Amino acid sequence: MKNTIEFTTKNILNDFELYLEEFNELTALAPEFFKNRQWTAMQANHKKRLRLYKDFIANCREKIIQEIGEFKNNSTFWLEVKQHFSMIINNRKDKELAETFYNSTIRKTFDNLAVDDSLMYVHEGYNTCDLHPNDNLYYTYPSAWGLQKIIRQIMDDFDFGVKYYNKEEDIQLLVRAVREVILTRYEPTKDTVTQVLKSVFYRNKAAYLIGRTRVGGKWMPFIIPFLHNENGVYVDTMIFDPRIMAHMFSFSRSYFMVKTTIPSQMVSFLNAVISHKQIHELYNAIGFNKHGKTEFYRDFLIHLENSQDQFEIAEGIKGMVMTVFTLPSYNIVFKLIKDHFEPPKDMTRQQVKDKYKLVSLHDRVGRMADTHEFEYFSFPLDRISPALMQELKNTVNSLLIFTEKNLIIKHLYTERKMIPLNLYLESCDLEDAKLAVEEYGNSILQLAQANIFPGDMMTKNFGVTRQKRVIFYDYDEIEFLTDMNFRWKPKAETYEQIYAPTPWYSIAKHDVFPEDFKRFMIGRVDVKPHFLSYHKELFNPDYWSQIQERIRKGELLHAFPYPKEIRFRPEQSA
């Protein structure tokens, strides 16, 4: 058995290292894509990197299964594998990622394995990572240099290898921003220092510098976005608002392409700069979403241990495809695909999974919620409310496994909890309602620009975040926008056509009539006129067709993760 244990650990570590090597190679392509404005290649590269993990785990599993034979579901064997694996990764600076890779491998190899403390790394992770010196992580700029020199040096240190649109103007715009936001509030001292991460964060058409200035006895974080259009590279703005920063690292945004040698070190710096974000969200943001999933689960276990409330059916209108529940004290919902779908839903469980997979690989442009997919997720039976238990038995009974103390759910998704837009509109005041319906329309249009058509655009399928942004979260009917056929409704000309109880004209599967959106999109009477006026383009088929045409021509429409009014040059296109 000893040889089999060594074979297993060696293969897990070897495949982890190969995965990490290819992950870093793909990440390293981002600067060239930005330099050459190869936006389609940037997106394709991002999707390729997202697929890596699953492919390497599948490959590792196949090799192990062929070798271990009878030990496949042997707990004693895996206990020794884990002990040996812990020994050989002990000095690695990325050991938390290696532990997650091991967890993924055993979960895919050992049949129907729920979380097991003895066989898996359940409580280790980020908090047990060794602290490593991080002086090489960032550039340092002392206050003695003066503001002008500091900004000039930052611009020199980050040369993207192409011409600047107007570098001198960029420098002065940054100097002015620092003076207006920081120097009007704090007086620099000899201890004042600025640090900027050496690694550039790339996403879509933008490159971001992330830094902080020690002033007034605390760190003041900032983010500097760069764009690159036909005029050259330019600074688009300078961001100090922590709420905007948090949104840039939001669960509704795609992951960054950013070089990192020691992931925990990078996360530690980001955690100090963007304090609104939890550890698992930061691992997600830098592309290690599988370890982000691990850290989320650890956070969930800690919360479970320190709370007493019961899991309940989530608020809102019950879905036709998903059963959704939550723990009131926790900001996550759990989504399960139902055993049966009532008409008019006509799809299979696998088709629903495919829709969620599509979203996981697509640019979410700040308008679609990220999800984590789990298998054999365990809940304490005594924490499940009677009403929820009955609902689960009625709708997802095939997914349930009962043990003496736990309910194990074979398959589910986790997603950030939001207030359903329909409920929000029922209770908010008029001004918040106006903002919400504006956001609702913006969400739909920005999804369209990312080649996503939501399908079911009822307000119950959208949520409102704490920052009052509207996010789409129901994916079972999404389609690529370019697959849809946007049509004007034919005009009735005869008596029979005018009074026909059903449409008298033919309607194909992907036909969409935007004029009909007016009937169902907003029900609240006092805010509907504002919505119809503010988003009148939503009801024009030609407008949708124009977006389709731009996408078909290969144009990537950039979704700014910050308000356009803070841009230095709002007239510049991305």
CA trace torsion 362, 365, 369, 370 (10° rounding)? 50
Q: Is 370 a catalytic residue?
A: yes
To the nearest 10 degrees (0 to 180), the angle between helices 75-89 and 2-27 is 50
Mark 187-213 as b/e (b = at least 16 C-beta within 10 Å): ebeeebbbbbbebbbbbbbbbbbbbbb
Contacts by 85-90, CB closer than 8 A, 24 or more apart: 85/9, 85/12, 85/13, 88/9, 88/13, 89/13
Give the C-alpha separation, 13 to 183, whole Å.
50
CA 34, chain centre distance (Å): 21
The secondary element (H helix, E strand) that includes residue 544 is: helix 541-552
Identified catalytic residue from 170, 370, 474, 476: 370
Running DSSP on this structure, what letter comes out for residue 215? E
Does residue 487 come out as left (phi exceeding 0), alpha (psi in the -120 to 50 range) or beta? beta
Give the C-alpha separation, 250 to 253, whole Å.
5
Give the C-alpha separation, 281 to 288, whole Å.
10
Instruction: Compute the residue count for the chain.
Output: 574
Residue 527: both structure tokens together: 């805010």
| C-alpha gyration radius of the chain | 26
* Pick from 238, 252, 257, 153: nearest CA to 195: 153
- At residue 522, φ and ψ (nearest 5 deg) are -130, 125
- At residue 462, φ and ψ (nearest 5 deg) are -120, 150
Residues 6+ positions from 201 with CB-CB distance below 8 Å: 207, 208, 209, 210, 256, 257, 258
∠ CA 439-445-447 to the nearest 5 degrees?
100
Pairing of strands 201-203, 206-215: antiparallel
Give the C-alpha separation, 384 to 406, whole Å.
10
Residue that has been written with the tokens 């509704």 in this structure: 252
Number of C-beta neighbours around residue 73 at 10 A: 13
CA 447, chain centre distance (Å): 14
- Which positions are catalytic? 370
